[in-house]
Amino acid sequence: MTELPRLSDSDPPFDIAIIGGGINGAGIARDAAGRGWRVHLCDQGDLGGATSAASTKLVHGGLRYLEQFAFRLVREALAEREVLWGIAPHIIWPLRFVLPYQPGLRPAWMLRLGLLLYDHLGGRRKLPPTRVLNLRHDQAGAPLQPRFRRGFEYSDCWVEDSRLVVLNACDAAGHGAVIAPRTRCLAAVRQGALWRLTLRDETTLVPRDIRARALVNAAGPWVGQVIGDVLGNTARAHVRLVQGSHIVVPRLYEHDRCYILQGADRRIFFAIPYETDFTLIGTTDRDFTGDPGLARISAGEIDYLCRGVSRYFRAPVTPSQVVWSYSGVRALYDDGSGPAQDTTRDYVLQLDAPDDGTGPSSPVALHVFGGKITTHRRLAEAALARLAPHLPAPSGNPAGWTARYPLPGGDFPTDGFEALRTSIAGRFPFLPAATVRRLVRAYGTRANLLLEGVRGPADLGRDFGAGLTERELRYFVQHEFARTAEDVLWRRSKLGLNLLPAQREAVAAAMAALV
């Protein structure tokens, strides 16, 4: 995984070249490679290093999208919850969400109707149904202000978003795809029946060219830049950039349920137990201009989230409590909506096929707008359905295979987490219980690969803190495309929250030595 093949004009072209290694690009790469197509994926930075790492970490139907009558999107997303849980039970698991009833905002009948649809629209099978709560007697009411007497509880799922991206890319590589993070696409031009892409390794600055029959622009917030600067297309890209920000504060309550809260402006935001000792609060929605890679939370956004959650909890949340924050920019299809929060979250696929894509001199390009982590697998299927008429007949798995085959490490039953944890704990009794649980949650059955040959603590190498060892750093580099401390501490794990600055610097030095 660490070295890219040398390519020349004598090599057969790739069937699909993908620009963008976020969840959409990685999902398309996995599906396409598994069907037998030759795939090349590049990203200018780390896999899932931008928007996909800045989500609210949920696999959910999107309760508020029902108000926008986005029934197709909600139905598809609801159905995908249990599909994704089934193929990645180590990084996806059920959560229960509490919605306190707030008089003067959405009426109770509307909330009941929305949750009734939520329970039945997507064919729920395993997730528990909605129920009404008496917050004066239920544990969920304890941290809330006493004026909240009634609430509703429903199911969605948690996801380790960055790990979902990386595992899709790992599975694509396992099916023969070339995965090239930190590789920028400088130009893509049509030459006869093929695309010729000029790529540059952002570490060595060495350029190289590849050829492909079809191109997928899944560059997320850079989708418009790819259309204009890389492809040289002067047509307006219908993209609206919307920034969403989150804050992390010390844990606000003891139970394991989440809250979905209504702001005074009718926006929805969440308060979610996070990394054992913290609470995640978000998200905001505001239009964004500039370089998406430089998106940072503003003081106004921090104040907005603190004030919003303080309207519900007994103990107010203040900006001084924020221990970490992150921001991402979503590239939504510009449908002419007014406020950013009303812009469609549904994905839009635009096929650029000169001469209808039927001639030998007309390689096609597919531009991906929008999309959600929850629907990435279905987006990939839709994208390949658009591309398939312009590609050789697939030689591998049939369409729909990604719903049945687990992602790396997910090859255990959704109810088998404890059995796997017990097995690891029994074979490695020197590992602390918290570390065992974290390793199984992060890697699933691939924890066995990480620990292969380990007979005692010395075999793990240096412990940098929070159970992060040299052995795990080597695993990140060798098997998950990691190159920097940030890749490790803030994306493939969130251990940066648990380490002191000196410990984080030690991880950075160790990673530099490994790569």
pLDDT tens string 211-241: 999 999 999 999 999 999 999 987 777 899 9
What is the chain's mean pLDDT, rounded?
93
- Give the pLDDT confidence of 82-94 residue by residue, as tens digits: 999 999 999 999 9
Percent of the chain with pLDDT over 70: 95
Kindly tell me if the per-residue pLDDT of 100 is higher than 90: yes
Output the CA–CA distances (angstroms, integers) from residue 70 to 75, 76, 222, 335, in the order listed.
9, 10, 25, 13
Extended strands (E) in 300-374:
324-333, 348-352, 364-369
Q: Write down the pLDDT at residue 3.
A: 57
Residue 383 has a pLDDT of: 98
CA angle 58, 62, 65 (to 5 degrees): 155
pLDDT of res. 456: 97
Specify if 203 maps to a domain: yes
Residue 345 pLDDT: 75
- Residue 457 pLDDT > 90, yes or no? yes
* Three-class DSSP category at 120: helix
Residue 20 domain-assigned? Answer: yes
Give the mean pLDDT of 49-53: 96
In a domain, 358, yes or no: yes
Inside any domain, residue 374: yes
More reliable by pLDDT, 121 or 223? 223
* pLDDT of 317: 98
Which candidate, 94, 181, 160, 178, places its Cα nearest to that of 408?
Answer: 160
Tens of pLDDT along 292-315?
Answer: 999 999 999 999 999 999 999 999
**For residue 266, what pLDDT is reported?**
85
Domain count, the chain: 1
**Distance separating alpha carbons of residues 322 and 311, to the nearest angstrom:** 17
Asked if residue 358 has pLDDT above 50, the reply is: no
Q: How far apart are CA 183 and CA 41, in angstroms?
A: 9
- Residue 13 CA to residue 389 CA, distance in Å, equals 17
Give the range of the structural domain holding residue 24, as residue numbers without chain letter. 14-50+163-237+345-403
Answer whether residue 2 is part of any domain: no
Helices (H) and strands (E) in the chain, counts: 13, 20
* Residue 50 to residue 221: CA distance in whole angstroms: 9
pLDDT in tens, 3-25: 555 556 668 999 999 999 999 99
> What is the rounded CA–CA span in Å between residue 212 and residue 18?
10
Provide the percentage of residues in the chain whose pLDDT is more than 90: 83
**402-413 pLDDT, tens per residue?**
999 999 999 998
pLDDT computed for residue 335 by the predictor: 72
* pLDDT confidence of residue 19: 98
Reduce the DSSP state of residue 149 to 3 states and report it.
coil
Whole-number pLDDT of residue 359: 47
DSSP state of 144: B
- Residue 432 lies inside a defined structural domain of this protein: no
pLDDT for 357 equals 45
> How do residues 142-172 score in pLDDT, each as one tens digit?
999 999 999 999 999 999 999 999 999 999 9
CATH of the domain at 23: 3.50.50.60
Assess if residue 282 is contained within a domain.
Answer: no
In a domain, 136, yes or no: no
